[in-house]
Amino acid sequence: MKRIHVKGNTWVLEGPQLVGLYQIDESTCLLLDPGSTKLQGEIEAALAQAGLTPVGVLCTHMHYDHHESTRYFRETYGAQTCLPQLEADIVRSEESLKNHLFNFTMGMIRTIPRLQNLVCPVDRVIAFGETELVFCGVPLQVVRTPGHAPDHVCFITPDNVCFAGDVLMTEDVLAGAMVPFVFDMADDLKSKEIVAGLSCDAYIFCHKGIRYGSVAELAQMNIRHIQGQLAACGALVTEPMTYSQFYAAVVTAMDLPVGHPARGLHLERYIRPYLEYLVDRGDLTLIEQNGAPAVAPKEARHGR
């Protein structure tokens, strides 16, 4: 991975995604969202070339493409770990992870390496309402940006650089995003507005880009994209559909790749928040159909 300077002591390691790096001194650093285990070797090579050892790992949220390597750096280098409250709660045990990934079987949680790697001790939990912390001697601001994940946060380094995780996507990533993942759509839309209103000198987005100056227009572009995808999903419901039928309709209409049962479970988790938000917003009506939860156009009545 290539080490790219952003500002002051704030850097990124550029590869398939951006991994944040805050250089504490000549030999130690913090890693922010070190990503999946596929990146470990490349991260280690870049750190070795720079003569740096990671003493702390911070994650904006617990998704595997941000957090999966955390346990490795803790066990290999003794790096301290830091996650926000709800994200830390999810990765505390196999049972808590299953509670979050409710549509995966317990056997999958216990045997799929990508899921097993998520379970990790958290040395520093960012409590609700906490907006500042000192981690491994580095003062950081914390901006609560839930939505993409239950307790997603952004970190602002002492250089006034915002490490923004997945709260926004840059233009090239957005162009190919059919159903951007969210946990709670209402919170996610609010969080995009929050980031739009920040006054940082630079912003680092993991997937993938660095932006200097305001990101207000980028935030509005993300919001418009989400609203467009919501409308496209809602338009598929022209008659009552079970949840499974809705998922299948979205996968077909958007030509989403499945190819494996586990991928199908992931796609269900991607699509469900769109369905839930359309129900909450009143675009669709929640009904029962032959004993199964279903949705219908908003003018439909229960039991029709």
Task: Kindly report the pTM of this predicted structure.
Answer: 0.93
- HEC letters along 79-129: CEEEEEHHHHHHCCCHHHHHHHCCCCCHHHHHHCHHHHCCCCCCCEEECCC
- Of the candidates 240, 268, 287, 238, the one whose C-alpha atom is nearest the C-alpha of residue 103 is 268
- Of the candidates 89, 84, 273, 101, the one whose C-alpha atom is nearest the C-alpha of residue 184 is 273
Q: Are 56 and 136 in contact (CB under 8 A)?
A: yes
Kindly report the backbone phi and psi dihedral angles of residue 154, in degrees, each rounded to the nearest multiple of 5, phi listed first.
Answer: -110, 145
Q: What's the one-letter identity of residue 264?
A: G
Dihedral angle over CA of 190, 194, 197, 201, nearest 10: -140
Q: Are 148 and 182 in contact (CB under 8 A)?
A: yes
Q: Are 131 and 122 in contact (CB under 8 A)?
A: no
pLDDT bracket for residue 300 (50, 70, 90): low
In this structure, the number of other CB atoms found within 10 A of the CB of residue 90 comes to: 24
- Of the candidates 33, 55, 35, 44, the one whose C-alpha atom is nearest the C-alpha of residue 3 is 44
Please state the separation of Cα 250 from the chain's center in Å: 21
CA dist., res. 25 & res. 138, Å (int): 11
Mean pLDDT (whole number) for 95-124: 95
Q: For the segment 10-50, what is each residue's pLDDT rounded down to a tens digit?
A: 999 999 999 999 999 999 999 999 999 999 999 999 999 99
Q: What percent of the chain is modeled with pLDDT above 90?
A: 88
pLDDT bracket for residue 264 (50, 70, 90): confident
Q: What strand order describes the sheet that includes 124-126?
A: 2-7, 10-14, 18-23, 28-32, 53-58, 80-84, 124-126
Q: Is residue 304's pLDDT more than 80?
A: no
Q: What is the pLDDT of residue 262?
A: 81
CA dist., res. 127 & res. 82, Å (int): 11
Q: For the segment 116-145, what is each residue's pLDDT rounded down to a tens digit?
A: 999 999 999 999 999 999 999 999 999 999
